[in-house]
Copies of this chain bind each other. A is one copy, B any other.
Amino acid sequence: MKSDYKVNEIKVGNLTIGGDRTTVIAGPCSVESEEQILRIAQSAVKMGADVLRGGIFKPRTNPHDFQGMGLEGLDHLLEAKRLTGLPIITELMDASYLDVFEKHVDIIQIGSRNMYNYSLLKAVGETKKPILLKRGFSATIKEWIFAAEHIAKGGNDQIIFCERGIRTFEDYTRNTLDLTAVPIIQKETGLPIIVDPSHGTGIRDMVSIMSKAAVAAGANGLLIEAHYDPDQSISDKLQTVSMETLEEIIKIVRRLDTL
């Protein structure tokens, strides 16, 4: 569905983010094993997903929760990339890993909790890699744009915004997905914005519906947590969809792309 606002295109290999086709980023919350990520990647590429996601460093509220596989997980992601050709995105939490990320990762994700971590923003601003900048869950749109300027100041304007819901009083959903951010970011920055309906709702059954709404609002892409056995996900299982649901979502999105 055509957005009312044109944005700069960002190239990731052969992929164009911000063009006429909605970019679908899919994969598990966390890389859990080589087998898991390969299986998901092979399924995702068949369905027409564009980018493979998978966390290797996980910012967890509770310090006793699973913190991610670390660099071992990156090896698995790279194996999945070799196998499927899908570019990979994963979250950077600590600038000390930036060199490794710059060498191996196609899109570097800055997570919601680090949107105000100006040291980290500055560090990735000095790379040439596309940055996916998640909205802080309590950030105003203005502050989010300022965060992007912290990155751009270093010379890197390959910035993709990602709306993932904000914190409100509502407790039925995990966050309140703010789709108005889509046209506002496009209008104010001229940069692409993708929507994460998984974190944005926290509810598996709502992911497909909010994916449609996001694309209708003009979003340049979607970020969807998917797993072949969602209930077995180590993290975020309540919001992770099955590969079958992912397939349906991609079909609808491709149809909306032609409108």
Instruction: Report which A residues bind B (CB closer than 8 A).
Output: 1, 4, 59-64, 93-96, 113-114, 116-120, 137-138, 140-143, 146, 149-150, 153, 166-173, 176-180, 182-184, 187, 200-201, 203, 205-206, 208-210, 212-218, 255-256, 259
Task: Known A173-B180, A182-B209, A217-B209; judge A118-B168 contact (CB<8 A).
Answer: no
Establish whether residues B213 and A140, one from each chain, have CB atoms under 8 Å apart when the complex forms.
no
Task: Known A146-B61, A209-B218, A212-B1; judge A178-B170 contact (CB<8 A).
Answer: yes
Establish whether residues A217 and B208, one from each chain, have CB atoms under 8 Å apart when the complex forms.
no
Task: Known A143-B61, A179-B177; judge A168-B166 contact (CB<8 A).
Answer: yes
Establish whether residues B172 and A140, one from each chain, have CB atoms under 8 Å apart when the complex forms.
yes
Establish whether residues B180 and A176, one from each chain, have CB atoms under 8 Å apart when the complex forms.
yes
Q: How far, in Å, is A64 (CB) from chain B's closest CB?
A: 8
Q: How far, in Å, is A43 (CB) from chain B's closest CB?
A: 23
Task: Known A114-B117, A167-B138; judge A183-B206 contact (CB<8 A).
Answer: yes
Establish whether residues A180 and B166, one from each chain, have CB atoms under 8 Å apart when the complex forms.
no
Q: Which residue in chain B gives the minimum CB-CB distance to A172?
A: B141
Task: Known A117-B117, A215-B216, A216-B215; judge A183-B168 contact (CB<8 A).
Answer: no
Establish whether residues B146 and A172, one from each chain, have CB atoms under 8 Å apart when the complex forms.
no
Establish whether residues B172 and A166, one from each chain, have CB atoms under 8 Å apart when the complex forms.
no
Establish whether residues B216 and A212, one from each chain, have CB atoms under 8 Å apart when the complex forms.
yes
Chain B residues within 8 Å of A214, by CB: 213
Establish whether residues B118 and A59, one from each chain, have CB atoms under 8 Å apart when the complex forms.
yes
Establish whether residues B184 and A172, one from each chain, have CB atoms under 8 Å apart when the complex forms.
yes
Q: Which of the residues B4, B63, B140 comes within 8 Å of A209, measured between beta carbons?
A: B4
Q: How far is the CA of A118 from the CA of B213 in the complex (A)?
A: 33
Q: How far is the CA of A121 from the CA of B208 in the complex (A)?
A: 34
Q: How far is the CA of A149 from the CA of B61 in the complex (A)?
A: 10
Establish whether residues B176 and A168, one from each chain, have CB atoms under 8 Å apart when the complex forms.
yes
Task: Known A179-B213, A210-B179; judge A141-B116 contact (CB<8 A).
Answer: no
Q: How far is the CA of A137 from the CA of B95 in the complex (A)?
A: 24
Establish whether residues A170 and B143, one from each chain, have CB atoms under 8 Å apart when the complex forms.
no
Q: How far is the CA of A228 from the CA of B96 in the complex (A)?
A: 40
Establish whether residues B209 and A172, one from each chain, have CB atoms under 8 Å apart when the complex forms.
no
Establish whether residues B180 and A206, one from each chain, have CB atoms under 8 Å apart when the complex forms.
yes
